[in-house]
Structure 1
Amino acid sequence: MRSVTTFMVLVAIWLAGFFAFASRVQQSTPPIEPAFADGVVALTGPRSDLRLGAAVGLLEDGKAQRVLISGVSRIANREDIRAASGATRRLYDCCVDLGFRAADTVGNARETIEWAAAMRYKSLIIVTADYHMPRAMLELRAVTPKDLALQTYAVPTPALQSARWWRRPSAVRLMALEYSKYLAILVREAVLSLGPRTRPGEA
């Protein structure tokens, strides 16, 4: 009986956290107008065209000097990415960099910080999907130096924009999976805080 009660309590805690996470995701869009930054970083993933378009739009609006597109597929070429982003060739050729090394969000964070260091940037606008932003920022803040300022620019996910998104199984699966990944990082960071500070991927 005690184990059943414990299980029910854990489920209730998970559900409370899940809906708080979902509310946070929905409230992140539409994004507020960001202040000027040195660079913009777009993290690729599902529906990357929306993320790339948003990043290029910030560049066109004079919000930054350059854009990094992190996590580009190795089978894609520059013209593929330009077409997906909707950037003019002039702007794209002068001011868009492609990062091919990142294969996941941890890789995105490391690629982002390395690019910022190489460019000597002190401020970035991070562009990714609304549901991905909380986890992306956890990974980024885990490796970001203190002198690098980060702003967020969340791109709305159509499936999550409805007030009754929870009635759509695909939307629930997406949110639940992302929330679970987010929790896993929180646990990882809590464990790391108890011992020597070793970042993911470091040896």
Structure 2
Amino acid sequence: MERAKAVLPEGSRPREGRWRRMRPVRRFVRVLLALILIAAFAGFVGFLQFAETVAEMEAPRDPKADAIVVLTGGYQRIDRAIGLLKKGAGGRLLISGVNPTTSGNQIRKLTQSSSALFECCVDMGYEAVDTIGNANETARWISDHQFRRVLVVTNNYHMPRSLLELKVSDPQTDFIAYPVVNSDLRNGNWLHQPDVMKAMLSEYLKYCLARVRAFAGARTWSGLRGDMSGG
């Protein structure tokens, strides 16, 4: 007597086959979601560390350097840098990233500085169009004057990326941070200020990209007007 063959419900075998084919896809989706969650958590922790670093930045009380560079972005920075120059914190000042339509005389009047100070000790940098350009413009200026210690003046939230780009362009120079504080980040109130939060998040993302680029050694963009125009 022949053994009875097991009879499967109609359509069960195709469904089982589809399920087996879907297993790798489901596994991939789970792994992808886990990686996204890990990356999101790491990004959040990194942002908190970045914010804490920026919040704790303080300007040195009696800074001394060979020269000073200020990265444009507001006259408060330039005013502070010229004040440092007047006090003898550095022997020469570079204002990097100046708009081509802005003259040194205009900046001199806005900062209420003397013509003698600008003629002897202030250089205008018109080439830089972004932070990478600031770094390259500054590196060229440092090389021309053979400076070794340079005071860097920019906003506190902009300082980490500025120092990183400067070190990539000129590893030999000792850069000293002189942060200009526009918003007090220590009390945590900035978390409820949309404009400050947006600026911090934007700067953090740019800083992360700069870190990745520096680690990979990939810099194809100079950030200089002359290179943009092919000059």
TM-score category of the 2 structures, normalised to the smaller one: 0.7 to 0.9
In structure 2, distance between residues paired with 1:83 and 1:28: 30
Q: CA deviation at 1:161?
A: 6.1
Q: Which position in structure 2 is the counterpart of 1:154? A: 179
Q: Which one has the largest radius of gyration?
A: 2
Task: Decide which of 113, 123, 130 is 2:156's aligned counterpart.
Answer: 130
8 Å CA contact retained: 1:106, 1:200? no
| Structure 2, gaps ≥5 residues long | 1-29, 223-231
For residues 47-80 of structure 1, the C-alpha deviation after alignment (integer angstroms, 9 at most, x for no partner) is x111101111111111111110000001111122
TM-score, reference length from structure 1: 0.87
> Matched residue pairs, number?
194
TM-score, reference length from structure 2: 0.77
Q: CA RMSD in A?
A: 2.0
Q: CA deviation at 1:117?
A: 1.3
In structure 1, distance between residues paired with 2:62 and 2:36: 43
Q: CA deviation at 1:157?
A: 1.9
In structure 2, distance between residues paired with 1:137 and 1:150: 7
Identity %: 33
Matched, 1:182 2:210: no
Q: CA deviation at 1:183?
A: 0.3
Q: CA, structure 1 residues 145+171, in 2 after alignment: closer, same or farther (shift >3 Å)?
A: closer
In structure 1, distance between residues paired with 2:155 and 2:86: 20
Q: Which position in structure 2 is the counterpart of 1:8? A: 37
Q: CA deviation at 1:159?
A: 6.5
Greater alpha carbon shift after TM alignment, 89-98 vs 170-179: 89-98
Q: CA deviation at 1:162?
A: 5.0
Q: Which position in structure 1 is the counterpart of 2:17? A: none
| Structure 1, gaps ≥5 residues long | 193-197
8 Å CA contact retained: 1:125, 1:150? yes
8 Å CA contact retained: 1:43, 1:70? yes
